[in-house]
Amino acid sequence: MGFEHFPKLAAERGGYAAAYARWKADPLGFWMERALLGVDWFERPRTAFDPEAGPYGRWFPDGICNTCHNALDRHVAAGRGERVALIHDSPVTGTLRRLTYAGLLREVKAFAATLAGFGIGKGDRVVIYMPMVPETAIAMLACARLGAIHSVVFGGFAARELAHRIDDVRPKLIVTASCGIEPSRTVAYKPLADRALELARHPPGAMIVLQRPQLAAELRPGRDHDWHALQDAALAAGADVPCTPLAATDPLYVLYTSGTTGRPKGVVRDNGGHMVAIAYALEAVYGVKPGETFFAASDLGWVVGHSFIVYGPLVQGGTGILYEGKPVGTPDAGAFWRLIAEHGAVSAFTAPSAVRAIRREDPDGLLPGRYDLSRFRALFVSGEHADAATVDWARRALGKPVLDQWWQTEIGWPIAANPLGLGILDVPVGQPGVAMPGHRLDVLGPDGTVLPPGRTGTIALRLPLAPGALPTLWNADSRFRDTYLAEFPGYYSTSDAGRLDASGIVSVLGRTDDVINVSGHRLSTGEMEDVVAAHPAVAECAVVGAHDELKGAVPVGFVVPKLGIAETEAAIREALVAAIREAIGPVAAFRRVVFVARLPKTRSGKVLRGTLRQILDGTPFEVPATIEDPAVLPEIAAALATGMPQP
Ligand code: COA
Ligand code: AMP
C-alpha cells in the first residue's frame, strides 16, 4: 500500500517563494491543510489556532490524536507492517538491527503495558536516560502511546544534570541502561542514574534498567527492574494496549535545554502541532518523501534525535537510522557515507563539528568515493555556525548539495533553511538561508525597532510561533514569558544575533546570552561558572566560549584565585576540570583554565565576557566605554601568553 493520502511535495506547486507566500497570505489555512493531510486524527480539528489559550495561543486546540498511532499503528493498519521503521547500526557493538513497523509496534505495545503496570498513564512523566539503542525509541513511543510525557536526558550529562531534570519534571519512573559505549570506554549509566536519584529531591520510586551484554548493572531489589524480564513477560502475554486519545495540545515530551542561568529550561512539545510540523519539515526542508529513509547523525537526547531520528521519519511512514557510533574512529571517517549507502538514506543531517572531524581525517575527501551515494540527495548541517571551508570541502567530497539550516530546541524544526524539498535557492555559504513557511523573522534593535536589511540585531520571530514550537516551558508559563516574550512585545526572542539581507537570507552571528555550542551541543557557560565558583580556591571567575577549530567553541575558565591559598595552579585546574566533568558531564569539554589577578568589569561590576572572548580569539576589539579600568585588558592578554601550558 502506498502513501496516496500524504500531501504532495510543496515544490510541485511553485517552490519556496510560492509556498512562503501561500503561508503568509493564510497561515491558519496553510497549517490546517497540512494537518488534515499529514496526520490521522481521532477527531479532526475544526479550529487551527486559539489565540486566547496559553502564553501566546495554541495550535489545533480541538483536535484529538495520538502520536504513537500516527508513527506506528496507522502504517501497520495500511498494510505497511513489513517495511523497516528503524535501523540500529552500531559499530561500537558490532551489531545491526532492523525493526519493521509491525515488530516495533509489538515492542512498543509490550513496553506500554509494562509502564501501565507501574501505574503510568496520561500526563505522568517518565525520564529516559539511555544510550543510542532501539529501546530508547521504544520507551519514547510507549510513553506517547499512553499519553505519558517523556523527558529524554542525553547520556553525556552527569548525575547532577540528571537530578536537576528529575526535580523539575518529577517523573514517576526512570528508564536507563547498564551502559553506553564510547569508542574509548564503556560508560556505566546505571551508577550515574543511582547517584542522580540520591541527589534529587523528588526521586521516582522505580527504575527500569536495560542490561547490555557489555556491562551488567546491579539492581536494587524493590526499586530496580530488569527491562528484558519485563519485556519478555509482556510480549509473551501479547499485551495490546490501545493508543490513548489525547488533545493535540497535550504534551508529548519535555526536553531540557541550556539557558543563561544554571537551571535548564523544560521545553514542552505538544502532540498535534509537532506531528504537523515535523512531517512538513522532513518533506519541505529535507526533501524526504513519505516512505524514504533519513539519517540524522545526532543523539536521541537532543531535539534533532526526537524530531528526525524517531518521530519525523515514523510519522511520515519512512525509515529512521539510529547510529551508535561516531563520525570518525568507528571504524573510520567514512562511517557516515557507509551508513547512507548501505541503508539508502536520501538525505542526512549532521553538525558542522562532525564534518570538521571527518575532514581532518580525510582531507582529500577520498572516502565518499568508496560508497554508492547515487540515491543520496543532500547533506544538511545545523546546530552551530557552518564555516565556508567545511561546507566547501563536503560539497567537493560528496559532489552533492550541502545545506545549512538554523533552528533551536525550542522551535523543534528549522526556522531558516535552504529547502531541498521546496527547491534549492542560491544562498551564500555560511548563511543558513531563508525563513521557512510558518516563521516570520525580524531583526530588532535594543529598543524593539525593526532594523532594515544589513543591520545587526536580535533575531526575533513574530508571534504566534509555528506549529511544533514550544507552547511554554514545563510548569513555568511566567518563566517562558520572561525569557522569550517580554523583551520584544509581540515577538519570541531567539537570543541569537544576526541580520537579514535584502532578499531575506539570514546570517546568524552568535548568541546574545551565555549559551555556547560545543560540537553542536548546547551548554550554558553560566552553569559552568556556578561549578567553578564553588571551588574553595576560587575568588571569582568567568567562563566564556573560545573559538575551536574542531568543536566550533570550547569553554575557557578565567579564574581569580583566592589570596594565600596553598594549592598550585595546576592542582586547581585539575580540580576544576574534574568538577565540571562530575557536575555537568564530559560533553562540556572543559579543559582550559586561565589564572588572572582580576577580571575586566564595567563600572557597575558586570564582567565583560564579550571582551574576554575577543581577546581569547585574537579578534580585533574596541575597549568598551563602560570598562572600569582598561589596564586590566593587557593583563589578561599577558596571562594568556604566559600562563601554564593547556591541553
Ligand atoms: N554518553 C556518555 N559520554 C558521552 C556521550 C554519551 N552519549 N557522548 C559524548 N560523551 C563523552 C565522550 O566520551 C567524551 O568524553 P572524554 O572527554 O572522556 O573523551 C566527551 O563526552 C566529549 O565527547 P564528544 O563531544 O563526542 O567529543 P569528541 O572529541 O570525542 O568528538 C566530535 C568530537 C566532533 C567527533 C563529536 O563531538 C561529534 O560527533 N560531534 C557532533 C555531535 C552532533 O552530531 N551533534 C548534533 C547535535 S544536533
Ligand atoms: P540547540 O537548541 O541545541 O539546537 O541550539 C540552538 C542554537 O544553536 C541557536 O540558538 C544558534 O545559536 C545555534 N545554531 C543552530 N543552528 C545554527 C546555524 N545554522 N548557524 C549558526 N548557529 C546555529
**What average pLDDT does the segment 532-540 reach?**
93
| Ligand 1 atom nearest residue 326's Cα | 39
| 105, amino acid identity | L
- 409 residue type, one letter: T
Distance CA 625, CA 188 (A): 50
Listed in sequence order, the residues at least 6 apart from 411 whose beta carbon sits closer than 8 Å to its beta carbon are 439, 461, 465, 466, 468, 469, 470
Check: CB of residue 556 under 8 Å from CB of residue 577: no
Ligand 2 touching residue 409 (CB < 6 A): yes
Q: Which three cell numbers stand for residue 434?
A: 531563508
The pLDDT tens digits for 266-318 are 999 999 999 999 999 999 999 999 999 999 999 999 999 999 999 999 999 99
Q: How far apart are CA 29 and CA 7, in angstroms?
A: 14
Return the biggest CA–CA distance within the chain: 76
pTM: 0.94
Question: Which residue blocks in 510-619 are alpha helix, DSSP H?
Answer: 525-533, 569-583, 609-617
Distance CA 481, CA 484 (A): 6
- CB of 257 within 6 A of ligand 2: the answer is yes
* H/E segment holding residue 43: none
Mean pLDDT within 624-633: 90
* CA dist., res. 467 & res. 413, Å (int): 10
Q: What was the pLDDT predicted at 423?
A: 94
Angle at CA of residue 294, ends 371 and 433, nearest 5°: 100
Tell me how far apart the alpha carbons of residues 5 and 638 are, in angstroms, rounded to a whole number: 66
User: What is residue 229's predicted lDDT score, i.e. its pLDDT?
Assistant: 98
- Enumerate residues 6+ apart whose C-beta is below 8 A from 434: 16, 20, 416, 417, 418, 425, 427, 503, 504, 505, 506
> For cell 575577543, what's the residue?
614
Q: What is the pLDDT of residues 168-196, one digit of tens each?
A: 999 999 999 999 999 999 999 999 999 99
Residue showing cell 598550585: 568
H/E run at residue 228: helix 227-236
Ligand 2 site, residue 154, Cβ cutoff 6 A: no
- Helix, strand, coil distribution of the chain in percent, nearest 5: 35, 25, 40
349 near 376, Cβ under 8 Å? Answer: no
- Which ligand places an atom closest to the C-alpha of 516? 2
551: enclosing H helix or E strand:
none
pLDDT for residue 1 is more than 50 = no
pLDDT digits (tens, 9 = 90+) for 84-122: 999 999 999 999 999 999 999 999 999 999 999 999 999
User: For ligand 1, atom 13, which residue shows the shortest CA distance?
Assistant: 182
Q: Answer yes or no: is the C-beta of 404 below 6 A from any ligand 2 atom.
A: yes
Residue 621 grid coordinates = 576589539
Instruction: State the pLDDT confidence band at 646, using cuts at 50, 70 and 90.
Output: low
Interval 34-74: pLDDT, tens:
999 989 999 999 999 999 999 999 999 999 999 999 999 99
Distance CA 217, CA 129 (A): 14
Distance CA 383, CA 355 (A): 12
Ligand 1 probe mutation, 587, 590, 592, most atoms within 8 A of CB: 587
Burial 432-453 (b: 16+ CB within 10 A, else e): bbbbbbbbbbbbbeeebeeeee
Would the CB of 548 count as within 6 Å of ligand 2?
A: no
- Between CA 321 and CA 101 the distance in angstroms is 14
User: Please, where are the H alpha helices in 246-308?
Assistant: 272-284, 303-305
Atom of ligand 2 nearest to the CA of 409: 2
Q: Which comes out higher in pLDDT, residue 7 or 196? A: 196
Question: Residue 490 contacts by C-beta under 8 Å, 6 or more apart in sequence?
Answer: 462, 463
pLDDT of 5 higher than 90: no
Instruction: Say what angle helices 609-617 and 632-642 make with each other, to 10 degrees.
Output: 40
**Residue of 128, 181, 182 to test ligand 1 pocket, by largest number of atoms within 8 Å of CB:** 182
Q: Is the C-beta atom of 522 inside 6 A of ligand 2?
A: yes
User: ∠ CA 455-460-464 to the nearest 5 degrees?
Assistant: 145
3-class DSSP assignment, residue 631? coil
* Per-residue pLDDT tens digits for 340-353: 999 999 999 999 99
DSSP element (H, E) containing 524 = strand 521-524
Using alpha carbons, select from 479, 82, 75, 509 the residue that is nearest to residue 317.
75
- Among protein residues, the one with the nearest Cα to ligand 1's atom 46 is 298
User: What cell numbers appear for 330 in the block?
Assistant: 568507528
Atom of ligand 2 nearest to the CA of 381: 19
Please report the domains of the chain, with CATH numbers, ordered by start residue.
Answer: 100-247 (3.40.50.980), 519-643 (3.30.300.30)
| pLDDT band at residue 10 under the 50/70/90 scheme | very low
The pLDDT tens digits of the residues spanning 137-148 come to 999 999 999 999
Instruction: Give yes or no for a contact between 23 and 438, defined as CB atoms under 8 angstroms apart.
Output: yes
* Mean pLDDT, rounded, of the chain: 94
Average pLDDT over residues 367-376: 98
E strand map for 122-257: 125-129, 149-152, 173-177, 179-182, 185-188, 206-210, 224-226, 246-247, 251-257
Q: Is the CB of 496 under 6 A from ligand 2?
A: yes
Residue whose C-alpha is closest to residue 347's, from 430, 281, 426: 281
pLDDT for the residue 642 = 80
Question: Residue 11 carries which DSSP code?
Answer: G
Per-residue pLDDT reduced to its tens digit, 559-579? 999 998 889 999 999 999 999
